[in-house]
Amino acid sequence: MAYLNFLRESAAAGGTLLRHMPRMLWRQLPAMASGLCDLCQDTSKAGQLCEDCRALLLAPMTDGSARCAVCHLRLDGRMHCPDCLNGGFAFDRVIAAFDYAAPGDLLIHYFKSRGRFMCAGVLAGLLADAVADAEPCLPEATILVCVPSSRAAVLRRGFNPAAEIARSLSGRLRLAYRPEWVVRTRDGESQTRLNRRERRLHARSLFRCAGDVSGLHVAIVDDVLTTGSTLHSIALTLKEAGAASVCGLVVARTPY
């Protein structure tokens, strides 16, 4: 079903996504038919990690370690990290499925860079579990949006990772998903080589709100939270448009 959404995105990308479809679908056939874990390739239920890999992946999230109450950064006993203590972010809080460290970083790498498109369901399932366990729970009727990829990134990968995770997450949580509500005003450069300050400056005015969010609770879906600059920029845009609250739902949080 997710592949049908390529048709919609293809119109915005000049039809390029359609050229990726046969290649990407072909890559997924072995994994879809084998019922193997996406990490260790051991036997697993279709579309799921094996129990050992799942336990290893989630161990840092369940070991009782302190986490920042806002950005979910791993801490040494404090309730807030320095950035959040100084009121540095526009979003209200973040829910993350696991830390961006081994073996979770490998799973995301497979998804984003190796064309394992069907990993979106695995990642969305892990995030849905984290949302279900989070306290306090999400407000009722929360609207999901996603971090929009740059045009160059969509053309390179053939899809927007955050959008595919959000689409799958929407079905699992039974929440409305509005991918068109957050749009990029420009592409800009890749942020992978930028430091914290440079990322914050780069993300400023990079997005605009294209939907009526007045009085609504909105959750921004992304794959990895690093410095929080992108989520901050989108959250600021949404709150300026009248959103009542904005939280981040990320698959992975960098542990530093």
pLDDT for res 43: 78
Instruction: Name which of 11-15, 40-44, 112-116, 236-240 the model is least confident about.
Output: 11-15
**Which of 62, 237, 223, 249 has the alpha carbon at shortest distance from 149?**
223
Better-predicted residue by pLDDT, 144 or 62: 144
Better-predicted residue by pLDDT, 124 or 45: 124
- CATH architecture of the region 2-253: 3-Layer(aba) Sandwich (3.40)
pLDDT for res 170: 98
Mean pLDDT across the chain? 84
Token pair of 253, please?
């949080």
For the segment 208-228, what is each residue's pLDDT rounded down to a tens digit? 999 999 999 999 999 999 989
Q: How far is Cα 227 from Cα 196, in angstroms, rounded to an integer? A: 6
Domain boundaries, the chain: 2-253
* Residue 1 in this model has a pLDDT that exceeds 80: no
Token pair of 58, please?
């989630």
